[in-house]
């Protein structure tokens, strides 16, 4: 049982039961704790137990707390999205992913068209840019800036801005006609 394997780590505080499931163990981690050190201890224990896991870190900004999800090694948002795309017949050209936190990074830097909404932390935006560049996927990453349809680019406004960036044919459908520069 993974929970028992980590029960003595004071840095980890188990999240509520409704945030757990059969394939995900979720913890709160105070932001002042050394994430690399905590991760190292967890991975060492998992390795000794013969358990292959994936650790996904993010931050709950409103509550000012770190979040840690422990998943099976093969589980990821990107793989889930790929499976849905295949099932529904979508391609990388007609799929757009939007995110704002560390648990979205894997998808934001992938070959999938991705949007980082404007309210994402500056560190997340920078990590996304750097990792996308390293992977040769810079053209598939759009960072919302605001100004589209008079909105600020945060949350769903950033999603709409990104969708308009990748799919300009949707702008009229959104009810806004972009002013085009005349030659």
Closest of 139, 120, 138, 119 to residue 130, by C-alpha: 138
Q: Global pTM?
A: 0.79
Query: Is residue 98 packed enough to be buried (19+ CB in 10 Å), middle (13-18) or exposed (0-12)?
Result: buried
Phi, psi of 57 (to 5 degrees): -105, 145
Domains, the chain, in order of start with CATH, read: 2-72 (3.90.1070.10), 77-170 (3.40.50.1000)
Rounded to an integer, the average pLDDT of 146-170 is 96
**Per-residue pLDDT, 183:** 37
Rounded to an integer, the average pLDDT of 104-111 is 97
Quote the tokens at residue 36. 């690399």
**Per-residue pLDDT, 149:** 92
Q: Between 177 and 75, whose confidence is greater?
A: 75
Residue 62: pLDDT band (50, 70, 90) is: confident
């Amino acid at each position: 049982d993974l929970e028992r394997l980590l029960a003595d780590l004071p840095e980890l505080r188990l999240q509520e039961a409704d945030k757990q499931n059969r394939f995900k163990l979720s913890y709160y981690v105070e932001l002042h704790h050394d994430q690399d050190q905590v991760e190292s201890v967890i991975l060492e224990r998992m390795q000794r137990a013969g358990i292959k896991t994936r650790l996904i870190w993010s931050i709950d900004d409103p509550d000012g707390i770190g979040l840690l999800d422990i998943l099976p090694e093969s589980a990821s948002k990107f793989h889930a999205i790929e499976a849905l795309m295949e099932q529904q017949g979508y391609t990388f050209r007609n799929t757009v992913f939007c995110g704002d936190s560390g648990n979205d990074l894997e998808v934001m830097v992938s070959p999938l068209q991705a949007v980082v909404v404007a309210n994402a932390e500056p560190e997340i935006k920078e990590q996304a840019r750097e990792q996308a560049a390293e992977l040769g996927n810079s053209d598939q990453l759009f960072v919302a800036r605001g100004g589209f349809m008079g909105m600020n680019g945060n949350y769903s406004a950033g999603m709409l801005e990104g969708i308009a960036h990748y799919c300009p044919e949707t702008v009229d459908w959104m009810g806004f006609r972009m002013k085009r520069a005349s030659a």
